[in-house]
């Protein structure tokens, strides 16, 4: 019997990348799933309830959480590096509104536990793998200043709800960069891996890569991330932010090579463009706390995860 069996679970942002994959796994765990979003679901399942809700509206938030035991806040206003570079304020107001209103509605509805997906952008610039206690308010990588302050503030909001007279348990996870099926492939909104997968499958000649390809990140396959989120919701009983990451450094060039191999396009011409906007050049993440606290370890290698993602995308575009 899975932990979520017969529990009423809301996936806020259930039509998005993380929300879609999370809903799939919750249904496998026999949860009673409600998926709420402004967008149409990417994947319909007769066992899940789909409702259209705008999380910037208080009334819609109350309707979304009504009768729910658990809330996964996977709804977010996001984009790629280009949008963050040109209009850094674009994500601040809608995300603060959504997070604030959903916390308020969940608390007033008597939700047992609320999970917020934070970000590894909350950490300062560091050459070493960042640990949960390394976060310092306002000490941020300059290009992440706006989005990271929003995430930090939202974490504080979560903590506030654990400190009131009748507290609501809140869980905060800080994921590595996630990738996999149901990601955003639109050019304006996509992150680096979906953009490169699309270019490889579409046989761009040359394949343009933003930056020099030497940026180092921690990339986690979406199924591993979802598993970590579900374990965090199950096991964390106090305000205890936790990283969900692989702990394995990976360059953009290594990602590209894995994509080209999976797409059978290893003879592709590559054009690196250092003039294009990129983000932090090195971000390593320490996953030890998740292992100790949750028994969680990411299992999917980059090669395996990329292969699954490329095959899924090729199948999707053929259909």
Q: What residue segments make up the domains of the chain, in order of their start? A: 8-318
Q: What is the pLDDT of residues 112-128, one digit of tens each?
A: 999 999 999 999 999 99
CATH topology of domain 8-318: Rossmann fold (3.40.50)
- Residue 25: pLDDT band (50, 70, 90) is very high
In angstroms, the Cα distances linking 113 to 18, 164, 187 are 18, 14, 35
- Residue 200: pLDDT band (50, 70, 90) is very high
Model confidence, pTM: 0.95
Alpha-carbon dihedral sign for residues 256, 245, 90, 10: positive
What's the length of the chain? 319
Strands 8-12 and 49-52: unpaired
Structure token digits, residue 65? 């959480």
Average pLDDT of the segment spanning 228-241: 98
Burial of 30 (0-12, 13-18, 19+ CB in 10 A): middle
Please say if the pLDDT value at position 234 is more than 90.
Answer: yes
Cα–Cα distance, 74 to 72 (Å, whole number):
6
Confirm if 244 and 119 have CB atoms less than 8 A apart: no
Please say if the pLDDT value at position 264 is more than 70.
Answer: yes
Average pLDDT of the segment spanning 175-198: 92
Q: What is the mean pLDDT of the chain?
A: 94
């Amino acid at each position: 019997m899975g932990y979520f069996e017969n529990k009423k679970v809301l996936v806020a942002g259930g039509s998005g990348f993380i929300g879609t994959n999370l809903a799939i796994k919750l249904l496998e765990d026999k949860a009673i799933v409600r998926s709420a979003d402004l967008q149409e679901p990417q994947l319909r399942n007769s066992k899940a309830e789909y409702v259209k809700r705008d999380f910037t509206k208080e009334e819609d938030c109350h309707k979304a959480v009504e009768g729910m035991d658990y809330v996964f806040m996977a709804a977010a206003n996001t984009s790629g590096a280009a949008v963050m570079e040109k209009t850094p304020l674009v994500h601040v107001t809608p995300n603060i509104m959504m997070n604030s209103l959903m916390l308020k509605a969940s608390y007033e509805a008597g939700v047992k536990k609320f999970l917020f997906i934070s970000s590894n952008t909350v950490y300062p610039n560091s050459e070493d793998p960042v640990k949960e206690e390394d976060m310092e308010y306002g000490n941020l990588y300059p290009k992440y200043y706006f989005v990271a302050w929003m995430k930090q503030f939202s974490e504080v909001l979560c903590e506030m709800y654990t400190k009131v007279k009748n507290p609501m348990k809140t869980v905060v996870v800080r994921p590595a960069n996630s990738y996999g099926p149901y990601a955003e492939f639109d050019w304006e909104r996509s992150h680096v891996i979906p953009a490169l997968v699309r270019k490889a499958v579409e046989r761009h000649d040359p394949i343009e890569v933003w930056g020099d390809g030497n940026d180092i990140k921690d990339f986690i396959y979406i199924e591993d991330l979802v598993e970590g989120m579900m374990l965090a919701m199950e096991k964390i009983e106090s305000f205890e932010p936790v990283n969900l990451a692989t702990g394995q450094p990976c360059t953009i060039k290594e990602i590209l090579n894995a994509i080209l191999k999976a797409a059978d396009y290893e003879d592709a011409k590559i054009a690196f463009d250092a003039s294009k906007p990129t983000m932090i050049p090195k971000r390593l993440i320490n996953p030890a706390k998740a292992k100790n606290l949750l028994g969680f370890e990411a299992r999917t290698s980059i090669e395996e995860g990329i292969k699954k993602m490329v095959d899924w995308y090729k199948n999707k575009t053929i259909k």
